[in-house]
Structure 1
């Protein structure tokens, strides 16, 4: 089922996700719905907060991106990043392994808003997969950037928080308009209940 992607101004985007303690049928269904939602929105990553769930859960699939390369190391050996896709990360932990590089980012919760963001070029990731099995890998390029973007969502951090001051000021009118539309939609929904 395609879920609603909440937009900037919704308070859940600022909530840190709860750790997931067990894999349940409801969680499996949420994961399936998140993938369906991400694909329908033409995204490459989606965090649980973006569909209204404050959990330590994100899904990613970069197989359709051909113009921004990714690297992957499994057990110290180079591997094809597509071998991990589609990727579920539960309770992820990340550690930077390289200096920051600047690259373009967008976000499904910020339609048509893009900016260059500085993030470590390479990271180490530890998490559980969708079946609760341990995952451990190193990655770089777009995969590292996308995981860091989604990891931030799980901590209640948004990519606008990582923008430099000049970019944030330039985008401020668009951000304020998006936030106002979202808050008005939430107020109308609350008034109907």
Structure 2
């Protein structure tokens, strides 16, 4: 049963950038049979628009291997009350989970929004990076991943980012050191990239033993996207 379920689960997770449309109940049933983890409970969030997110009192939080974590977020087109409410909900979610930063997709919202502290970056773009020779090594964790997962990453020492505020005002800022690393982490989330994609080989987890098996078939392509500095 577990071998069959694992095969089905791999099909459900097949897209490296955009998850397949599967029912939440089907996904949770399949992943339960495939993994039987006692220490990590995955989610299967429904995809939210800005309008539907703004109707909520509290945003959910995705846990690996929820397909929503592989969503490449859509650009925000309307700077309206729904956007302002969603950004406020994202700030509340970050505080609730003790997150220094957050991407909207981590809460199931299909919108290109990144939080760094309380600052919202809507439709962010990296417009300049420090030279490759100044890449800096970090050990990273992620609230969306099992707690024992730690990955060595190489991040730009300095980034210049162009974005728009939730009020629709364009801005550009330069981030350095830990702030640049944190932004890169959240910017990855908005592209459907996780820290485990930065590892040379598929990452294992004792809290969620199925992780390496789920990641291995797609890891080479996901690593290529994670390492791309274009």
Shorter-chain TM-score bucket reads 0.7 to 0.9
Q: In the alignment, which of 186, 191, 216 is matched to residue 155 of structure 1?
A: 191
Question: RCO higher in 1 or 2 (8 Å CA, sep ≥ 6)?
Answer: 1
| Deviation of the 1:178 alpha carbon | 6.6
Aligned: 1:100 with 2:106: no
Q: Counterpart of 1:6?
A: 62
Q: Counterpart of 1:40?
A: 96
- Take 1:151 and 1:49, find their aligned partners in 2: how far apart are those partners? 10
Q: Give deviations 1:124-146, integer Å, cap 9, x for gaps.
A: 10000121111101111111001
Range 11-20 or range 108-117, more displaced: 108-117
Kept in 2: contact 1:8–1:179 (CA 8 A): no
| Deviation of the 1:40 alpha carbon | 0.7
- Take 2:184 and 2:119, find their aligned partners in 1: how far apart are those partners? 14
Q: Give deviations 1:35-90, integer Å, cap 9, x for gaps.
A: 101111011111111001121111121xxxxxxxxxxxxxxxxxxxxxxxx21001
Runs of 4+ in structure 1 off by over 6 angstroms are: none
> How many pairs were matched up?
153
| Deviation of the 1:33 alpha carbon | 0.7
Please report the RMSD computed on the Cα atoms of aligned residues, expressed in angstroms: 2.0
Equivalences for residues 129-144 of structure 1 within 5 A = 129-144=165-180
Q: In the alignment, which of 19, 28, 34 is matched to residue 84 of structure 2?
A: 28
Helix, strand or coil at the partner of 1:26: helix
- Take 1:177 and 1:3, find their aligned partners in 2: how far apart are those partners? 27
Q: Counterpart of 1:17?
A: 73
| Deviation of the 1:114 alpha carbon | 2.4
Helix, strand or coil at the partner of 2:139: strand
Kept in 2: contact 1:5–1:108 (CA 8 A): no
- Take 1:115 and 1:162, find their aligned partners in 2: how far apart are those partners? 8
Cα–Cα, structure 1 residues 49 and 176, in superposed 2: closer, same or farther, change >3 Å? farther
Kept in 1: contact 2:113–2:123 (CA 8 A): yes
Q: Which structure 1 residue ranges, 5 or more long, are not aligned? A: 62-85, 181-193
- Take 1:179 and 1:26, find their aligned partners in 2: how far apart are those partners? 38
Cα–Cα, structure 1 residues 30 and 17, in superposed 2: closer, same or farther, change >3 Å? same
Q: Counterpart of 1:146?
A: 182
Q: Which structure 2 residue ranges, 5 or more long, are not aligned? A: 1-56, 214-230
